[in-house]
Amino acid sequence: MSDKTPISERNLFDHSYLKRTACPGCGTAAAKARMARESNPRAEVLPFNRHSRFAAGYDTDRVFFSYFKCPICHLQYCPEFYTQDQLEHLYGHQQENMGDVPLIARRAAQDHYADLLLKHTKGHGGFLEIGADIGLFAKHCADNWNFDHFWLFEPNRDVTVELERAVAGEDKDVFFTMWPSEEVPNGSVSAMALVHVLDHLLEPVAFLERLHEKLEPGGVILTVTHNCESFLAKVLGKRFPPYALQHPQLYSPASIQNVFEKAGFEVLETTAAVNYFPFMHLVRAAFTILGLPAPFANLQGPIFPIRLGNIATVARKKNP
């Protein structure tokens, strides 16, 4: 790389990753953790500018930062991972979430998640979503409940028009960040959603503590995360797609409950989440994950519900 490259960009692309010395779930020293999964080669031995070809979608070549398992809370996490600047660079250039999946299937999945949350809430007051994407979850809430204000956080500016359109006519604020803004008053939110957000955060407990402040007493939060202890994860081993460059840690039902309790929440429900996909999409994905050439065109057709190793967790802020 040329010496004329800006210092900030040189810092991104040099071979310098974050070293985490403690488990992000419970604080146990990283030295006590044991290897759970590693790729060949391991991402931590490659420079940042060699990662881009592995950063999106399914790929026969599996490259990710090595995951270690905490002996106390059983969280699987990467002691060595991207710095915050490197993460922001990746997320600022990512494609729309699940962009190759038909909209009808993505909407069905988001409606399912929203219904899991809404059965635990009164459905009015403030609603906050981190990682709102194109607004499918928020739209379901707006169409079916009576929230009086929407606080929507989405760093990908490429989906701004679709997100704004999804909640057109609602009282709302949209932020181009993942961190809950000071503009959201403490105690003003009755329901929150984070779909595949906690998998991406370097400090999940601190993040949930911040969200805890924004919730009113008795307010509820839903998260959807990957389950590294699922049957699918055990069968696929290191080919389990969530073992990926974007995920500094992966949860199990036990470790996600620990993270919520550390942040001051009471877990109300933990269940296997349902996704929806066209059958041929699943066939092609299965062939690719197994390192085989996909034999069929990516056809559409009817969608099917399927459990793919995800956990939906609903937790409540305890009344004082």
For residue 296, the SS3 value is coil
* Spatial strand order in the sheet of 265-272: 172-175, 146-153, 124-130, 189-195, 215-226, 310-317, 265-272
Judged by average pLDDT, the poorest of 83-87, 159-163, 164-168 is 83-87
* The CATH classification of domain 103-230+263-317, taken from the options 3.40.50.150, 1.20.1510.10, 1.20.140.10, 3.40.50.300: 3.40.50.150
| pTM for the model | 0.86
Q: How far is CA 132 from CA 59, 166, 202, in A?
A: 26, 10, 19
Q: How far is CA 152 from CA 44, 133, 177, 222, in A?
A: 33, 9, 9, 15
Q: Residues 276-290: what's their mean pLDDT?
A: 66
**Rounded to 5°, angle at Cα 196 from 109 and 135:** 55
Judged by average pLDDT, the poorest of 11-20, 96-105, 121-130, 205-214 is 96-105
pLDDT-based confidence at residue 220 (cuts at 50, 70, 90): very high
The token pair that represents 17 in the structure block: 């990753």
pLDDT-based confidence at residue 5 (cuts at 50, 70, 90): very low
pLDDT value at 221 more than 90: yes
